[in-house]
Structure 1
Amino acid sequence: MSEPSAGDPGALAARLAALPDEQLLAVLVVATAGRDTLAPLYEAATRLLSETGQSGTAPGVIPGTDMPPGYGPSADLGSSSQVDSGIGAVVGDPAATGGTVGGYTAGGVPTFGSLRDKVERRIGTAFGARQLDRQTPAGRGTEEQWEAREQAARERLAQIRTSLHEGEGS
């Protein structure tokens, strides 16, 4: 027997009906996030999911997958002194974060904490790449060439200064 096509609503309904309640609620949360007309369904599914002891899933995450480090009920993102302290609340609990799930608000806007984490990751990656580049033979060769040019420039500047001072004494 062949697999039903993805466009078959009956097959999709059958697969959804076979899911346990918690997984079905998680699918509904993900499927309705950011849809204005389905906002009441999103809120109801989120509330029911939190009542079952489950936290909301990040949009786009398949229910049942583990949350990445730094997200979820135990995350403590903190907040800047310049920003309202409510932003740093626990991610994954929409009630505690004013509707944020996985670093994004219900409308799909990233939170300050998630942006800060993203920038810090990129800075760390850039510094790490720079250190690795310096450890390669090509990177060391480039650095040695730079130092040789700097030394030559300092010597030439010293020569120019000496020649200028010699002309003043005459």
Structure 2
Amino acid sequence: MSDTSEIVDRLAALSDDELVAVLLVATAGRPTLSAVHAALSTSAGADDAVVDGNVSPDTVAPSEHESPSGLGASQQVGGISAVPAVPVPPAGIPMPAELGGYSPGGVPTFESVRDKVEQRFGTAQGMGELDRQTPAGRSADEQWEAREKAARERLDQIRKSLRGNDTETTEP
């Protein structure tokens, strides 16, 4: 099939629907042909929307008052569910290892613990700053500073008295 004319002849022999299907496959994933692919997709979708007026449904819908026999409380034949009770992830799709800061085993992750500690530290630091902004907080700071000043003055007095005693004992 290396000859181009042979390919063209085979494509010309296809019906419109078959040609559109072949061209959709051929243009898929090609960025330069994305406009052609989009146009083909639109035309393929338009053909599917055509409804023949002579179509009748194969099944008859049961009336609202009819009760199908043999159905259990779960509205399934035999009461057995075809769907498993626990959702099983499809093969090949990775599941997130951490949901809500916990591992699948229920252990908190390092990141979630670190975030909680940082949040609590920030909250405590902010509350301390807000406390210092209140009148009671300011008076507590002023009292602390006054005690610090008094303690420094007393320590200086003690040092002076010790220096005075040292000079008296070394002179005689």
- TM-score normalized by the length of structure 1: 0.45
| Higher normalized contact order (CA 8 Å, seq sep 6+, divided by chain length) | 1
Larger-Rg structure: 2
